Amino acid sequence: MKIIFLTLVDIRDVEAHGIYTDLMRKFRDEGHDVVIVSPRERRTGEATRLFDDHGVRILAVKTLNIQKTNIVEKGIGTLLLERQFCKAIQKHLGQEQFDLILYSTPPITFSGVIKWLKKHSPKAVSYLMLKDIFPQNAVDMGMFSEKSLFYKYFRNQEVELYKLSDYIGCMSPANVQFLLRHNPYIDPATVGLAPNSIDLPEADEVRSERWHQQADAVSSGSDTSESSPAPSASASEPNSQFSILNSQLRQKYALPLGKPIFVYGGNLGRPQGIGFMLECMERVKDRGDCHFLIVGSGTEYPKIQEWMEREKPSNITLFARLPKDDYERLVAACDAGLIFLDHRFTIPNFPSRLLSYLACSLPVVVASDPNCDMGPIAEEAGFGRFCESNDSAAFARIIDDLTSQPEKMKEMGRKGLAFLKEHYLTEHTYNQICEQIRLMDNG
């Protein structure tokens, strides 16, 4: 098949690890012709261009700044994306026919691009990977109301995008149910699961060799992140090389060696319910039997930093965003992963950071709204614990339970890695997309 993939992610290296690059490599490795259309924000100073990267073509489209910028430029930039993408595709790919038009949310403003591509390639299947349900998530966060013109405009855009999509792949069963309940015009036969998924690192013998390299690098203070991926998949295996790396990483970042570390990594913004996160940290800040690590960036980072400076907790460490490979190595040296979501959400989010935790054999503690099904899935599969993100006492009880049972934590971590291998590998998403296309062709 010839595939075109539209994304808001700035993809520069298709060999880099990530939910989209992993999937695009899978399509490439299975013999498909892949083109990625990706933004290059104004701040980079780069012009629109088409280039080849490891057997995948990337069309980099010059846009305004649409992330980590002021709300005015973000809004204007998002509205202009459709025109900029369409113009670039017509200029650089206008003579090509595609079999699969693949795209993800955000944004929901790609309907014009999809329309043009479907008209230009009338036999193509359009496939939406639903990663973000907007504008309802903005309503949930109080950004605007359902009566506002903003909501009405973006809701119309959302409906149009759904109607243009031959198939919609959702991240979890709750996502499927939400989508169909609120959009009854969608044929249920066209909606299914296409969860966030990743590739696991290399085989154990290759990974073991790189653990030696990384341990030496950590000890000397150098960085091998560009050539050495994180030892994600075997964090809880009894491997001496990993144990060395684990201890040296903790020493490098001034983290305790003899205590379980609960790590939160990722965005620190309004969707994460940072107020509740700090309530939870308030309850555990005096514990001497465990440690908490928060790594990330976002609009709410200063609030956490201010709390840390005021409270000076000895068992909580806060780091700003780290390079991806450094972050993944550090997560692998921890004992459990934390996920926080604002309790006001009515949409069922499913954060991709879960995959990093599971790949490192870490059990997860999910503090979320009741509409998110990540917590119940984790408990049912035995790799995590769940509490609602308005009950910090329940969070503290979970920490009590896990900290007092280190062997139970390890067993939960092993179950998490097994669940990842069974449900969240790139090949699963690839097979689901291909199966649906085959069913459509047969129909």
Structure tokens at 288: 């001497």
The mean pLDDT value for 140-153 works out to 92
Query: Can you give the pLDDT at residue 233?
Result: 36
Q: How far apart are CA 51 and CA 60, in angstroms?
A: 8
Query: Can you give the pLDDT at residue 220?
Result: 44
Q: What is the DSSP letter of 68?
A: S
Q: How far apart are CA 218 and CA 329, in angstroms?
A: 10
Beta bridge mates, 183: none
Q: Which CATH number fits domain 204-423: 3.40.50.300, 1.10.3210.10, 3.40.50.1220, 3.40.50.2000?
A: 3.40.50.2000
Q: How far apart are CA 34 and CA 59, in angstroms?
A: 11
Q: Among candidates 218, 197, 205, which has minimal Cα distance to 325?
A: 218
Assess contact for 291 and 363: CB atoms under 8 A: no
Q: Which CATH number fits domain 2-199+425-442: 3.40.50.11290, 3.30.230.10, 3.40.50.300, 3.40.50.2000?
A: 3.40.50.2000
CATH fold match for the domains 2-199+425-442 and 204-423: yes
Task: Name the 3-class secondary structure at 83.
Answer: helix
Q: How far apart are CA 315 and CA 59, in angstroms?
A: 46
Task: Name the 3-class secondary structure at 107.
Answer: coil
Proportion of the chain above pLDDT 70, given as a percent:
89
- Identity of the amino acid at 87: K
Query: Can you give the pLDDT at residue 441?
Result: 53
Query: Can you give the pLDDT at residue 210?
Result: 36
Query: Can you give the pLDDT at residue 265?
Result: 94
- DSSP assignments along 212-275, one per residue: HHHHHHHHHT---TTT----GGGTTS--HHHHHHHHHHHHHTT--SSS-EEEEEEE-SGGG-HH
Exposure class string for 417-430: b at 16+ Cβ within 10 A, else e: bebbeeebbbebbb
Average pLDDT in the chain: 88
Q: How far apart are CA 358 and CA 399, in angstroms?
A: 18
Q: How far apart are CA 151 and CA 143, in angstroms?
A: 10
Scan for tokens 């520069």, then name that residue.
12
Domain boundaries, the chain: 2-199+425-442, 204-423
pLDDT tens column, 332-390: 999 999 999 999 999 999 999 999 999 999 999 999 999 999 999 999 999 999 999 99
Q: Decide: residue 355, CB within 10 A, 0-12 exposed, 13-18 middle, 19+ buried.
A: buried
User: In Å, how far are 172, 339, 363, 369, 414 from 408, measured between CA atoms?
Assistant: 26, 19, 9, 26, 10
Query: Can you give the pLDDT at residue 443?
Result: 46
Q: How far apart are CA 7 and CA 20, in angstroms?
A: 9
Beta-carbon count within 10 A of 387 CB: 19
Scan for tokens 């809004």, then name that residue.
75
Helix (H) or strand (E) run with residue 308 in it:
helix 301-311
| Start-end of H helices in 94-236 | 111-120, 136-140, 149-164, 173-182, 204-220
